[in-house]
Amino acid sequence: MRHALGVLGIVAACVLLAVSAAMNWRFGLSLGRTELDGQIYGAASAAADCMKALVPFFFFAAIRNRAWSQAAASMVVWVVVTAYSLTSAFGHAALNRFDVAGDRVHEKTLYNNLSADLARAKEQLGWVPQHRPAGTIQAEINSAKNERRWASTSGCTDVTAAKSRVFCEGYNTLVSELASAEQAGALEARIAEVNAKLSGIDSSKAMSEADPQAAVIAKLTGVDIDKVQLAMTLFIALLLEVGSGFGLYIACSQWRLYDSRTPAAPAFLATAAGGTPAAAMAVPNIVPASVAIEKPRQEANDNVTKTSPVPQRLIAPENDVERFYKERIEAQDGSSLTATALYEDYCAWCEEQQKEPLALPTFGRDFGELGIQKAKIAGRVRYIGIALRPGVVLEEDKNTPAFGVKAA
């Protein structure tokens, strides 16, 4: 279960990191004067965002190893890259949020204007008098112009006779009806055009608020909607930056990356004087293995007391590296030794023992077989959890003395 939660946490942190890096890349891309400049700014922004997520690992590792200068440098780098990434996130979030809100406002305004224009056209169409089709009216007008009275009245401009007045009144009525028909046709064409434009607009978006989230929060809090929009923009940027900056480090805490147990000294089987294993003398918490020694027994046919031989166990001989570990090294939490310092002390020990020291690669391999944790820190190989034994030199192990033979 713990591992499943850790994996899910890492996946979520990586998603946040990818989104944050993409936002920073897009914003950096918009800053370039040319396409190449934009690519450079975008790559730098994305790299800074990724570095922001990795610096916590370096920072706490440096503190654990007491590398204070590296810890200070990590903090400086983290502050710089986080500030840059945060400003990029602010810029991207502001551009997108305000652009989207502005587009919605424009769309809503356009929808309202078209709706008002449509309503006016329909209202005007309702005021147009009843009329016949324009083609029918135009045919009657052409027919009237072919009559004799049209010519005698000079196109209904010189009316004197009663019959001429009746003819011209009929002609003018046709002209008025034709004008109404033409006006109605124009209004119907306008209505069709407005309806076509309205069909291309999403009415659900046009009827909603330009920024629904900010509008709801503004109504609940009574704060001006512009301030709410600004606060939400900052909040989104902080969410991405904090989540992408620390999410990966927090998720990896499931596996306790920096936990390490202090290695116990190897339990050597060689016995010192008195039957106590030498390893138990060098390192605490190792229970000495008891050595069974039989008591002297009396022979039935003589008066001489003889001792039974001490049971012997097959014991692997110590090598020089194991002896050096027992005599010069001690386990110590929070300490570490560089490979160079350890080898130099080994050479000094060999000189005291009048022994030929092993070559550094051979010594490193044999010492590593003792189970000591090794790590490369700041370019130097260190052995973790051990320290040189200060001013202590142990004597060499000696064999257990045999019991003397006494006369009865």
**pLDDT score of 261 more than 70:** no
Of 245, 243, 237, 242, the closest CA to residue 90 belongs to 237
Residues 145-162 have a mean pLDDT of 86
Give the model's confidence band at 204: pLDDT under 50 very low, under 70 low, under 90 confident, else very high: low
pTM above 0.75, yes or no: no
Provide the phi-psi class of 378: left if phi over 0, else alpha when psi is between -120 and 50, else beta: left
Greater model confidence, 280 or 214: 214
What is the second-level CATH architecture of the domain 260-292+313-395?
Answer: Orthogonal Bundle (1.10)
Greater model confidence, 280 or 384: 384
**pLDDT score of 390 more than 50:** yes
| Whole-number pLDDT of residue 61 | 87
Greater model confidence, 72 or 313: 72
Interval 120-148: pLDDT, tens: 999 998 999 988 999 999 999 999 888 88
| Whole-number pLDDT of residue 288 | 42
| Whole-number pLDDT of residue 306 | 46
Residues 381-407 have a mean pLDDT of 59
Give the model's confidence band at 175: pLDDT under 50 very low, under 70 low, under 90 confident, else very high: very high
Which has the minimum average pLDDT: 8-17, 106-115, 248-257, 373-382? 248-257
3-state secondary structure the chain: CHHHHHHHHHHHHHHHHHHHHHHHHHHHHHHCCCHHHHHHHHHHHHHHHHHHHHHHHHHHHHHHCCCHHHHHHHHHHHHHHHHHHHHHHHHHHHHHHHHHHHHHHHHHHHHHHHHHHHHHHHHHHHHCCCCCCHHHHHHHHHHHHCCHHHHHCCCCCCCCCHHHHHHHHHHHHHHHHHHHHHHHHHHHHHHHHHHHHHHCCCHHHHHCCCCHHHHHHHHHHCCCHHHHHHHHHHHHHHHHHHHHHHHHHHHHHHHCCCCCCCCCCCCCCCECCCCCEHHHHHCCCCCCCCCCCCCCEECCCCCCEECCCCCCCCCCCCCHHHHHHHHHEEEEEEEEEEHHHHHHHHHHHHHHCCCCCCCHHHHHHHHHCCCCEEEEECCEEEEEEEEECCCCCCCCCCCCCCCCCCCC
Q: In whole angstroms, give the CA distance from residue 59 to residue 53.
A: 11
| Whole-number pLDDT of residue 206 | 64
Residues 320-330 have a mean pLDDT of 90
| Whole-number pLDDT of residue 246 | 82
Which has the minimum average pLDDT: 108-117, 210-219, 307-316? 307-316
CB 201 within 8 A of CB 110: yes
Give the model's confidence band at 208: pLDDT under 50 very low, under 70 low, under 90 confident, else very high: low
Tokens of 268: 């050597």
| Whole-number pLDDT of residue 315 | 53
- Domain regions of the chain by residue span: 2-109+212-255, 129-207, 260-292+313-395
In this structure, what is the dihedral angle of CA atoms 25, 26, 30, 32, given to the nearest 10 degrees? 20
**pLDDT score of 310 more than 90:** no
| Whole-number pLDDT of residue 122 | 92
Residues 147-171 have a mean pLDDT of 86
